[in-house]
Structure 1
Amino acid sequence: MSTDVEHEKRALRAELRERRQLLSDAQRATAASGIREQLDALIEAHSAESISCFLSAMTEPGTREFVAAAVQRGIRVLLPVTRADGLLDWAVADDTDETSEGLFGLPEPTGEVLGPIAVNDVDLMIIPAAAVDSTGMRLGWGRGYFDKTIGSMEKCPPVYAVIYDSEVLESLPREVHDQPVTGIVTPTRTLTLSPSRP
């Protein structure tokens, strides 16, 4: 049975999705450039040698430039591969930009697939989101992949969600399974919101 929180989340996601679709190509390109700068600085600040990230879809803040540059610098980048059972497999990013279409029509890597526990070795996780509030609560797109992944990790590294500046909200509806993030990365800033997990 649907709850009020689920309805609120659904309405908010629809509004955020619509806002993203209204962005121009120039706005998207500027955002991608800003995201790359912020993420490069974040990796530096954490001395991260191995990270997880995602391949941005057309309406998402662009991460592809960042991923390609990180791989060229010798950073190990794991990219998520969706599974029908609600878990994520991972593939190591390489210097090709070949992608395939995942379960939900989103771009996914084509390299060798590693199991769900491969992500346990990363120094930093960079994940997608629809919005994040001032306490670090993240609103995803409703499939629960990243909440499950983060919630099941024994020793979770810092987790940063990538969103547009307008998607940093005062508060978000939350459910028991929702996992907070350490911080957010937007095209203009990086904010640390909640303490890293033990």
Structure 2
Amino acid sequence: MPGDIDHAKRALRADLRERRNLLSDQQRAAAETALTARLDQLIAATGARSISCFLSTTTEPGTRAFIRAALTRGIRVLLPITREDGLLDWAVAGSDEEITMGLHGLPEPTGEILNPMALDEVDLLLIPAAAVDRTGMRMGWGRGYFDRTLGSMQKCPPVYAVVFDSEILDDVPHDVHDQPVTGAVTPLRTVVFPLT
């Protein structure tokens, strides 16, 4: 039942948010360093030259060092910009990126805005998540931006959720609109989920 699923998601999100808040600055820094290496390996393995990523908040697995390194190697990185209508616009990351707080208080790039179709040109999607399960079902934070984005793409490249190691769970509550991912990248491992 939808009400039960929503309640289960809210409870799990609250637990995951609390766990993230308990991480020390040293744990976060070590996780970002390890995650950067994992993401670099994924880029090398896939041969991706154009990717999407996201500007991590202070409690998310850190992506900013990875983005800087990717730009240095000539990788084109698109970053999401939230819209009032529930869709995502995109901006090309720059090395001297200015950051503003977008809708919902999330960090977003400034600069030229590209429409949602810009995502059709990327080779790999790296997206945030609260958790993923062992089948590849992703649970986000409840706003639906990435579920709508993935659900609307006609030709979707590989999609990897970026999470902490403890956020790959046996299963997550999900509804019909929730979208699965190809894999997950954590500070300690990269997981590819079986096709269902």
Displacement, 1:85? 0.2
For 1:128, the equivalent position in structure 2 comes to 128
Contact 2:97 2:110 in 1 (8 A): no
Tell me what 1:65 maps to: 65
2:2 and 2:73 mapped to 1: Cα distance?
Answer: 46
Look up the match of 1:109.
109
Whichever residue aligns with residue 169 of structure 1, its letter is L
- Runs of 5+ unmatched residues, structure 1: none
- The amino acid of 2:127's aligned partner reads I
Equivalent in the alignment of 1:91: 91
- Note the alpha carbon deviations across 1:22-69, whole angstroms, 9 max, x for none: 100000000000110000000011100000000000000000000011
Structure 2 counterpart of 1:179? 179
Query: Match for residue 163 of structure 1?
Result: 163
Query: Which residue of structure 2 lines up, in the alignment, with residue 44 of structure 1?
Result: 44
Listed one character per residue, the Cα deviations across residues 122-164 of structure 1 (whole Å, up to 9, x for unaligned) are: 0000000000000000010000000000010000000000000
Query: If the length of structure 1 is used for normalisation, what is the TM-score?
Result: 0.97
Unaligned 5+ segments in structure 2 are: none
Residue 97 (structure 1) shift: 3.6
Greater than 6 Å deviation, 4+ residue runs: none
Q: What is the aligned-residue RMSD (CA, Å)?
A: 1.3
8 Å contact from structure 1 (residues 53, 127) kept in 2? yes
**Could you tell me how far apart the structure 1 residues matched to 2:101 and 2:120 are?**
25
Q: 2:28 matched to 1:24?
A: no
Cα offsets for 1:49-101 (capped at 9, x unmatched): 00000000000000000001101111000000000000000000000142000
Q: Hey, what does 1:140 align to over in structure 2?
A: 140
The corresponding residue for 1:77 is 77
Which residue of 2 is the match for residue 192 of structure 1?
192
- Quote the Cα distance in structure 2 between the aligned partners of 1:120 and 1:82: 17
Residue identity opposite 1:191 in structure 2: V
TM-score by length of 2: 0.98
Q: State the alpha-carbon separation in 2 of the partners of residues 35 and 161 from structure 1.
A: 12
Please tell me whether the aligned partners of residues 56 and 107 of structure 2 are also in contact (alpha carbons under 8 angstroms): yes
> What one-letter code is carried by the residue in structure 2 that aligns with 1:93?
A
The answer to whether residue 12 in structure 2 is matched with residue 12 in structure 1 is yes
* Equivalent pairs, count: 196
CA separation in 1, counterparts of 2:17 and 2:185? 18
| Aligned amino acid, residue 116 of structure 1 | P
The answer to whether structure 1 residue 35 and structure 2 residue 50 are counterparts is: no
Answer with 73-82 or 2-11: which moved more. Answer: 2-11
Identity within the alignment, %: 66
